[in-house]
Structure 1
Amino acid sequence: MGDKLRLAVGVMGNAASMLLYAAPILTFSRVVRKKSTEEFSCIPYTIALLNCLVYTWYGLPVVSNGWENFPVVTINGLGILLELSFIFIYLCFAPPNAKKKVGTLTASAILAFSVTALLSAFTFHDHPHRKILVGSVGLIASVAMYGSPLVVVTQVIKNKSVEYMPFYLSLFSFLASSLWMAYGLLSHDLFLASPNLVGSPLGIFQLLLYCKYRKNGIMEEPFKWPDVEKNGNKIKQFDVEKKDDGEKPKQQPHAACA
């Protein structure tokens, strides 16, 4: 009964994680349509890539005992493909400075995983010690992944707009972390449960923040804040439509929370 319940929770966790990893499709369809990354950050996707790489390795028989964590392998393997796709699209449309930053972060994530995989495979010769090493790295990566959307929290609070904090990303983050926390507890595996003890409350916080600001109108086109050098003085340019008669800029109502 316990194994069946654990498997059922693992399947639900897979479904929620698949929605979590696929949620940015809406964001990147906008990037492709506008041929611009605007103010979106790629940091959450590079951290998610590291998380998926580490936990795919964690679930393989090299680290785990047999295929006891097969659900972990399947969903994180899919996550690797999706995150790489998102990063590639971002690199295609990002400005030069952003491309350099994202390229460096992605290379660092792959390097960190490679070092972890090699150390676990050739330094330790039993599953418990391999789990400790890979699980510890995975713990850090998971906490960073669930917390990475918080990089836009300051922007959300300042602008009172959730335009750059996608609702579905926050929702599926909460669902996935809660289900994997249950899976880890049922498996008596602290390396699967612990990061989600952090991820679940962070998901709740993001949802509360979204609900607080979702009713505020947002601009159809986001504000632009480039610094322009002119006569030694920096001036700020705003990409805002104004009527000839001096009325306030037009605003579009934000889409309702699903």
Structure 2
Amino acid sequence: MLFPDLKSLFATTAATSGIIQFLSGVPVCKGFVDTGTTGESEPTTFVAGLLSSSLWLLYGIAISDTSTIIVNSIGVLLQFSYVVTYYIYAIRKSQVLKYMSVFIVVLLLTLLYLYFDTNPDRKRYHMGLLCTFVTIMFFAAPLMTLHKVIRSRSTRSLPFPIILMTFLSSVQWLIYGTLLGDPFMKIVNVIGTLLSAFQLSLFVIYRDQPVQAE
């Protein structure tokens, strides 16, 4: 009886932390609105987040897991709104359109695959692999500005709220994936925990460094 209760508990906590993680983009986008520009931030975090949420939603449907479906349905809506906000205030709008074109192509190809493949076990396996790959890209997206962080000795190009909540959410989903016995959830969240922990360490390393002028 204890195991089902524990599984139910972490289904709730993982879902809650996942939703909070998605909401962590709100203060980042508020910064765009307040300053009227996206500054040094990259659109990859938001577009990769949108693609990751979309694919995990499809995976949740494939494995019939309610928590995964609910969280990622909310995630798709929020991440899409972040991409739109980023685009409005983007310095290089063509870059956003390029990434969104890739998102549309990948999503359409995935939907076509799911439609034509009639083997449910094979579909779940391939979707799991794809979700794992794309989510690792999402976790690593902030590292695209790593050279800026090291050169300027400043973490202002890194979205701290998103990285912090990614770390906390990854830990929760790692535990839930372990309880479910889902290898893809376990693998992707081990990597997510490690990558986000590394990114958080940069805020400690450079916390007392002066911000260089533009």
Deviation at 1:178, TM superposition (A): 1.3
Structure-1 separation of matches of 2:180 and 2:84: 35
Aligned to 1:118: 112
Aligned to 1:46: 47
Structure-1 separation of matches of 2:169 and 2:7: 15
Identical-pair percentage: 23
1:147 maps to amino acid: A
Structure-2 separation of matches of 1:100 and 1:124: 38
For these two proteins, the number of residue pairs brought into alignment is 213
Deviation at 1:22, TM superposition (A): 1.4
Aligned to 1:85: 81
Structure-1 separation of matches of 2:12 and 2:145: 31
Unaligned 5+ residue runs, structure 1? 224-258
Deviation at 1:117, TM superposition (A): 2.3
Deviation at 1:167, TM superposition (A): 2.2
**RMSD of equivalent CA atoms:** 1.5
Q: Which moved more, 1:164-173 or 1:192-201?
A: 164-173
Aligned to 2:98: 104
Check whether the contact 2:27–2:161 (CA below 8 A) recurs between aligned residues. Answer: no
Aligned to 2:11: 10
Deviation at 1:182, TM superposition (A): 1.3
Question: Does 2:201 correspond to 1:211?
Answer: no
Structure-1 separation of matches of 2:129 and 2:111: 12
SS at match of 1:41: coil
Instruction: Please list the CA deviations of residues 2-28 of structure 1 after superposition, one character each: whole Å capped at 9, or x if unmatched.
Output: 232122112211222222211121121
Deviation at 1:81, TM superposition (A): 0.8
Q: TM-score, normalised by structure 2?
A: 0.93
Check whether the contact 1:51–1:142 (CA below 8 A) recurs between aligned residues. Answer: yes
Unaligned 5+ residue runs, structure 2? none
Instruction: Please list the CA deviations of residues 72-110 of structure 1 after superposition, one character each: whole Å capped at 9, or x if unmatched.
Output: 111111111111111111111213xx2112112112112
Deviation at 1:192, TM superposition (A): 1.4
Question: Does 2:72 correspond to 1:76?
Answer: yes
Rg (Cα) greater in structure: 1
What are the within-5 Å matches in structure 2 for residues 42-191 of structure 1? 42-60=43-61, 63-64=62-63, 67=64, 69-95=65-91, 98-126=92-120, 128-191=121-184
Check whether the contact 1:117–1:134 (CA below 8 A) recurs between aligned residues. Answer: no
Instruction: Please list the CA deviations of residues 223-258 of structure 1 after superposition, one character each: whole Å capped at 9, or x if unmatched.
Output: 1xxxxxxxxxxxxxxxxxxxxxxxxxxxxxxxxxxx
Instruction: Please list the CA deviations of residues 174-231 of structure 1 after superposition, one character each: whole Å capped at 9, or x if unmatched.
Output: 1111111111111111121111111111111111111111222336xx51xxxxxxxx
Structure-2 separation of matches of 1:104 and 1:129: 31
Q: Which has the higher contact order (CA 8 A, sep 6+)?
A: 2
